[in-house]
Amino acid sequence: MKIDSSFKPTTAGLQSKPAPAPAAQAPAAQEAVSLSQVAGSMHASEKPPVNSARIQEIKQAISEGRFTINPEAIADRLIESARDLVNSSGKRQA
């Protein structure tokens, strides 16, 4: 099938509609936000739970090509995390 390149689109028949009038603005609603105790304590410490030495070891192993990935362990931990999330959300709803 050959595509005909002689087609020229036209704007005839298209009508432009006037822009709608701006709606009256309602006063903004105020919202309150509160942090849990865990979030508050994490924020208070201002130090992320990071092992910089371990990160450097992993970076070095990756750059040298000696870092091995264990897909089974990753899958097991993902499943375990998913189960924990499902179990914890079920307890909150009850």
pLDDT digits (tens, 9 = 90+) for 20-53: 555 556 566 678 877 777 776 666 666 667 899 9
**In a domain? residue 84:** yes
**In a domain? residue 60:** yes
Q: Read off the pTM.
A: 0.36
Q: Which residue segment(s) compose the domain that 62 sits in?
A: 53-93
Which is more confidently placed, 91 or 3?
91
**In a domain? residue 15:** no
pLDDT of residue 84: 93
**In a domain? residue 28:** no
**In a domain? residue 65:** yes
Q: List the one residue out of 57, 55, 53, 77 whose CA is nearest residue 66.
A: 57
pLDDT of residue 49: 79
**In a domain? residue 29:** no
Confidence of residue 10 (pLDDT cuts 50, 70, 90): low
Rounded Cα distance between 20 and 14, Å, is 18
pLDDT at 82 over 80: yes
**Domains: count for the chain:** 1
